[in-house]
Structure 1
Amino acid sequence: MTENTVSEIERMVITRVFDAPRELVWKAWTDPKYIMQWWGPKGFTAPVCQMDFRVGGKLLCCMRAPDGQEFWNAVEYHEIVLHEKIVSLMYFSDSKGNKIDPSELGIEHEAVDGAYDVTLFEDLGNGQTKLTFIGNEPMESAKNSGQMEGWIQILDKIAAVVAELVHAK
């Protein structure tokens, strides 16, 4: 019997094509002012978002559920290639950014050991950008836990932010 490695496990992958230049999609993904508009699935808000966007830096966001329950997430940045790629590690945290076990919040979350989240921004030409998010959760677990549906809803919210940026340009 062999142990699973990162490359052997099918990870959650979500893509979305935006009718916007790559720089605007990048801006929507990396500016706290815009992150607060899309962080969390449909019906959730993000009342707090602090960001030190650099390798070694960290994002700390509060995601508030419709019932008022708050969930904090932290993101550590491990690699940033301007307008192309972000490699990060996202986890549930307390309000100070200290990692906590998702089960403390009643959340099932299975991460792939040693895997980072990877976000790719691809210029498709004709003013279109393809965003690919590769999560650190196995695909099957992401589907079963609702993570997949949550990310699809988040990408819908990002699309609305990107559309506003396009119209404001």
Structure 2
Amino acid sequence: MAIKQKINLRNFGLGLLGLGFIAFIIIGMLHEISQAPWQFVSILIGFIGAIIAFASNWQIQIRNEQKPKKIEIYEKIINFFFDSLFAEKINQKPKTEEELVKGFVEMTPDIILWASDDVLKNYIKFRQNTQSSDIFLFGEMLLAMRKDLGHQNHNLTKQEILGTFVNDIPQK
């Protein structure tokens, strides 16, 4: 416990020192602004632009690093649902209730950690749905997965995406 307190105290001290240094620079610049206001404005605009570019690139880098893991998880989810829905059509034994529960238990932690908010919300709705025949929630989840991976989904509906593997989708 004492080590954590020392680290927190050190971080607080360093943060306070950094803020003091930044305040010193700002006060110095404000003092000199009356002599060269346009240079100050140029530097300020450049600094703000650099911060925005850095933040934007950082978000893109994080998204690009997460994308392969998301693809892997989304493929597992889609394959699990396809195997469950179409087992009989491809001459396989349908999954037992125990296998379905095990599949959901295995995929849920990955969805919680890696899926976007929209995918997670649609997964929760799908899991809490008492009508097992409502495949439209699965269609919404598929669209959310596509959006999370960078697809635009322009004019693509849940009926159309479900129509890629189910022939008789009713219009809802």
Could you tell me the TM-score, scaled by structure 1's length? 0.24
More strand per residue:
1
Work out which of the two has the higher radius of gyration on C-alpha atoms and give 1 or 2: 2
Could you tell me the TM-score, scaled by structure 2's length? 0.23
